[in-house]
Amino acid sequence: MKAVRTIEELRSGIRALQINLGPEATVGLVPTMGYLHEGHASLIRRARKDNGIVVVSIFVNPIQFGPGEDYETYPRDEARDLALAEAEGADLVFLPSVETMYPQPTKTKIMVSDITTRLCGASRPGHFDGVTTVVSKLFNIVQPDKGYFGMKDVQQVAVLQQMVQDLNMNVEIVPCPIVREEDGLALSSRNVYLSEEERRQALVLSRSLREAAAAVSEGTAVTAGDIRNLLKRVISQSPLADIEYAEVVSFPGLQPYPDDEEISRKDEAVLMALAVRFGRTRLIDNRLFNPKEAN
Ligand code: AMP
């Protein structure tokens, strides 16, 4: 494995592997912000299985953080990240500086409309513009055949799929399942911010999603309103939880269902999505399910 910091080194590293492996070796890209955990590892493993060449990028992207968010304090551990990426079989790790990614002045941004204004987009204005801009740049730099993204950030997956389709980008977005701790908490680099008590109470996210899916299949929750109420009731049992949203929307369109819409009879994927604050830590989780098959 090779760790590189400049675009030139990365491109020549990819070219060297392509010359070695031949033209049928596809390139898989796993974009991350580092402080890697088992969720990231699962993406790298999937990329390794699918491709001849695996590139992992580690870049805490300043333009996807809003004012007052945790850009400065976002956890970083380069040595541990490189060891994990190597253990999972990455060929190249790209660790650009902010100056490498955003030489001044930059005047171009990629923006996806509509679906970026809901859910996380409502409370984090500009966040998804930062994501689509950096991912477009990484796609242009690496020119991957496939990009690997976790369903933990389900809105990100929907937004990137829309971007790739709208701009005819020659990259397949590969969504990968959410990796959880044994007790159900979705892995996140931000989990390290949680106090012991917050960590315990944070289990309400996954529990509420599980209970809501069960209630739909048992017939005790029928409408979108029933599901929203159930999610909020379960989450509110944790006194430290401050709900930002508990939503029921279509996927990948992310259209909120009206409160009286019968979800239990739907023959399409329905997304339950949560953002909940515990102190200064904002956690997200979601469950995509088919109501007719929910258990
Ligand atoms: P991040 O470093 O948090 O920007 O995440 C980089 C990639 O890893 C994104 O595509 C995330 O969706 C994905 N990811 C983060 N946490 C998880 C998880 N618990 N399970 C699966 N994928 C994840």
Q: What is the pLDDT of residues 142-193, one digit of tens each?
A: 999 999 999 999 999 999 999 999 999 999 999 999 999 999 999 999 999 9
Atom of ligand 1 at shortest distance to CA of 190? 3
Atom of ligand 1 at shortest distance to CA of 187? 19
Average pLDDT (80-102) is 98
Bridge partners, residue 176, by sequence: 150
Q: What is the pLDDT of residue 292?
A: 75
- In order of 76, 138, 153, 156, the CA distances from 37 in angstroms are 12, 21, 15, 19
State yes or no: pLDDT of 137 exceeds 70: yes
Query: Backbone phi, then psi, for 279, in 5-degree steps?
Result: 60, -125
Nearest CA to ligand 1 atom 6: 32
Atom of ligand 1 at shortest distance to CA of 33? 2
Inter-residue contact 177 to 253 (CB < 8 Å): no
Domains and CATH numbers, the chain: 2-176 (3.40.50.620), 189-294 (3.30.1300.10)
Q: What is the pLDDT of residue 248?
A: 98
Over the stretch 38-90, which tens digit does the pLDDT of each residue have?
Answer: 999 999 999 999 999 999 999 999 999 999 999 999 999 999 999 999 999 99
Residues lining ligand 1, Cβ inside 6 A: 32-33, 39-40, 42-43, 149-150, 152-153, 176, 178-179, 186-189
State yes or no: pLDDT of 294 exceeds 70: no
Average pLDDT (11-26) is 97
37 in a labelled binding site:
yes
What global pTM score does this model have? 0.97
The alpha carbon of 157 and the centre of ligand 1 are apart by a number of angstroms equal to 11
Q: What is the pLDDT of residue 295?
A: 45
Nearest CA to ligand 1 atom 11: 150
Q: What is the DSSP string of 48-59?
A: HHH-SEEEEEE-
Query: Of the residues 78, 146, 151, 153, which should be mutated to test ligand 1's pocket, given the most ligand atoms within 8 Å of the CB?
Result: 153
CA 82/CA 90 separation, integer angstroms: 9
Average pLDDT (15-30) is 97
Over the stretch 203-262, which tens digit does the pLDDT of each residue have?
Answer: 999 999 999 999 999 999 999 999 999 999 999 999 999 999 999 999 999 999 999 999
The alpha carbon of 188 and the centre of ligand 1 are apart by a number of angstroms equal to 7
150 in a labelled binding site:
yes
Nearest CA to ligand 1 atom 7: 32
- In order of 98, 99, 109, the CA distances from 104 in angstroms are 10, 8, 13
Catalytic residue among 4, 28, 31, 40: 40
Confidence of residue 293 (pLDDT cuts 50, 70, 90): confident
* 40 among known catalytic residues: yes
C-alpha closest to that of 156 among 189, 118, 190 = 118
State yes or no: pLDDT of 95 exceeds 70: yes
